[in-house]
């Protein structure tokens, strides 16, 4: 039977079938190992099949797999407590994915604006180049035409401005603005950290108009940039924070965080999720958070990120005219090329490395946070060799 015959063809998949994972490596059905610098798109922060995560999931799966959010569960309370103690927030709404966590933030912002200023306070100001998910509302918030095309009419009430343009943002935010929604480090858009100046302008605009500042850290959160949350490296604290991806190391989860006075605008019955914050995912998330917050873990992320970034910059210097820019924070890095490199990811796969290639010219690297220095050095050598051989334009 043709492989994938009965699976919707919404992904352009690589010609391998992965059957197991261990640490930073995955293995195909022929037994070949690959170093995973994509981590399931920034998900497997502790690597594949981390022993402590696996043990916690096994215990929880034999104890309580699911119950309605009409009842309390210990794993959910435990994760919410850790997130609250280590952030600005008091309360957490749990869902199943990054898109759902952003969708909840959009609904929260509109309820907040409606309750305090009336129904005309509904607009969400977003950024060009942003990516916020695949639901209709998050597609409307996403600032990339490629993800919007063909799905019109999209929900109204979303306006986009260029990133790092404080003047454009100030012109866009007004009496109809319920929230400014942004990624402090744009992920899918090409790993682009926003400037402190722009983030401070966003904070000031929101304060001036009593709008909410929402940070989407679905990709940048949970240690990815070298601190538990990316906003900790900026002079700005948001009102709402969206998390997912690495939070449960591969088990479905989303989390929307806010202070008491903000989350109070989503009272009982206003929003819900059948599977959100289920005990098994939360058991995994508790292990992830306790591991990432352990002494020395985030310092090691910063050291390994610096090692990878230095290596990428050395390669860029060795290939003048080919590499436009190396950028990012921690272990969330990108190398942007001057021209399309459509075969680069396949060539690196053949060399034994899984990577992400965005827009055919942006190599996006989001490896497990537990990656070893030797694997970083091995990847850098492989990338240098592939580029030296002339990755086909």
- If one counts every other C-beta atom within 10 angstroms of the C-beta of residue 332, the result is 24
54 is in an annotated binding site: no
274 is in an annotated binding site: yes
Tokens found for residue 331 = 């272990």
How many whole angstroms separate alpha carbon 94 and alpha carbon 110?
A: 18
Backbone dihedral angles phi then psi of residue 257, each to the nearest 5 degrees? -110, 145
How many whole angstroms separate alpha carbon 11 and alpha carbon 361?
A: 18
229 is in an annotated binding site: no
Please, which residues bridge with residue 181 across strands? 214
- Coil, strand, or helix at residue 69? coil
2 is in an annotated binding site: no
Q: Residues 249, 284: contact at Cβ < 8 Å?
A: yes
177 is in an annotated binding site: no
218 is in an annotated binding site: yes
216 is in an annotated binding site: yes
- DSSP-assigned letter for residue 214: E
Buried residues in 218-241 as b, exposed as e (16+ CB within 10 A): bbbbbbbbbbbbbbebbebbbbbb
> What is the number of alpha carbons within 13 Å of residue 160 lying toward its C-beta?
16
Tokens found for residue 51 = 């022993």
Tokens found for residue 210 = 């009593």
How many whole angstroms separate alpha carbon 127 and alpha carbon 142?
A: 8
Tokens found for residue 172 = 């866009």
Give Cβ neighbours of residue 210 (< 8 Å, ≥ 6 apart). 116, 117
217 is in an annotated binding site: yes
**What phi-psi label fits residue 40: left (phi over 0), alpha (psi between -120 and 50 degrees) or beta?**
left
Q: Residues 106, 72: contact at Cβ < 8 Å?
A: no
Crossing angle for the helix pair 279-292 and 74-85, to the nearest 10 degrees: 30
Binding-site residue set for pyridoxal 5'-phosphate: 98-99, 131, 216-219, 274
Binding-site residue set for N(2)-acetyl-L-ornithine: 134, 273
Binding-site residue set: 98-99, 131, 134, 216-219, 273-274
């Amino acid at each position: 039977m043709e492989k994938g015959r009965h699976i919707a063809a919404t992904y352009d998949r690589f010609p391998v079938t992965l059957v197991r994972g261990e640490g930073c490596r995955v293995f195909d059905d022929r037994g070949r190992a690959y170093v995973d610098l994509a981590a399931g798109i920034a998900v497997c922060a502790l690597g594949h099949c981390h022993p402590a995560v696996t043990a916690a999931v096994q215990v929880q799966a034999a104890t309580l797999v699911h119950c309605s959010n009409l009842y309390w569960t210990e794993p959910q309370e435990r994760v919410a407590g850790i997130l609250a103690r280590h952030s600005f927030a008091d309360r957490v709404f749990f869902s199943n994915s990054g898109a759902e966590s952003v969708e909840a933030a959009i609904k929260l912002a509109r309820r907040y604006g409606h309750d305090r200023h009336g129904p005309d306070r509904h607009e969400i100001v977003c950024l060009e180049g942003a990516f916020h998910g695949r639901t209709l509302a998050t597609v409307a918030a996403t600032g990339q035409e490629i993800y919007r095309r063909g799905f019109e009419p999209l929900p109204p009430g979303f306006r986009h401005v260029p990133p790092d343009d404080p003047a454009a943002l100030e012109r866009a935010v007004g009496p109809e603005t319920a929230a400014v929604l942004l990624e402090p480090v744009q992920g899918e858009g090409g790993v682009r950290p926003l400037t402190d100046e722009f983030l401070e302008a966003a904070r000031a605009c929101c304060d001036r108009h009593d709008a909410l500042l929402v940070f989407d850290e679905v990709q940048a959160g949970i240690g990815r940039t070298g601190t538990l949350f990316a906003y900790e490296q900026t002079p700005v604290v948001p009102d709402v924070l969206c998390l997912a991806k690495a939070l449960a190391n591969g088990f479905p989860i989303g989390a929307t965080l806010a202070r008491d006075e903000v989350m109070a605008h989503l009272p009982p019955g206003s929003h819900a999720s059948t599977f959100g914050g289920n005990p098994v995912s939360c058991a995994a998330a508790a292990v992830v958070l306790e591991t990432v917050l352990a002494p020395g873990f985030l310092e090691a992320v910063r050291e390994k990120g610096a090692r990878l970034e230095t290596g990428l910059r050395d390669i860029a210097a060795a290939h003048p005219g080919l590499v436009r820019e190396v950028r990012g924070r921690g272990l969330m890095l990108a190398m942007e090329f001057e021209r399309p490199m459509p075969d680069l990811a396949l060539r690196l796969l053949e060399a034994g490395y899984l990577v992400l290639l965005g827009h055919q010219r942006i190599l996006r690297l989001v490896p497990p946070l537990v990656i070893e220095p030797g694997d970083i050095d091995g990847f850098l050598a492989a990338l240098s060799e592939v580029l030296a051989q002339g990755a086909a334009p």
